[in-house]
Amino acid sequence: MTVPKVGETIYVPSAWYLSHGKDDFAGGKATVTKVEVSRYTDRDGEPIVCICIKERPGTEYNWKTLEPQQEKLKVEYGDQVAHPDPDDSPESNQWD
């Protein structure tokens, strides 16, 4: 596993919520702001690595899950920068 460094660009997927549209997020290029390598390991005995990005503060990504998707996400999103894409309609925000 190659772990990105703070400041590097990675790709993240979109996230769409049926009942909480105000948290919708469009995927694309994102800038790494934090890399946390846990002292704990996963089932394969590898350290758990969490990545944070500038474009979606407060959200962590599991790098082991995200790393194998990088080429696919690059093709899917190209030069699009990841960004919040909220749907503020009442019918899309039933959790509130």
| Per-residue model confidence (pLDDT) at position 96 | 57
pLDDT (tens place) for every residue of the chain, 96 residues total? 899 999 999 999 999 998 889 999 999 999 999 999 988 888 888 889 999 999 999 999 999 999 999 999 999 999 999 999 999 898 889 875
* pTM for this entry: 0.89
Residue 27's pLDDT is what? 98
Residue in 29, 18, 30, 14 with CA at minimum distance from that of residue 87: 18
Q: What residue ranges do the domains of the chain occupy?
A: 9-88
Instruction: Give the pLDDT score at 46.
Output: 86
Residue 21, SS3 per DSSP: helix
CB of 21 closer than 8 Å to CB of 96: no
Give the helix ranges, DSSP H, for 1-96: 63-66, 70-77
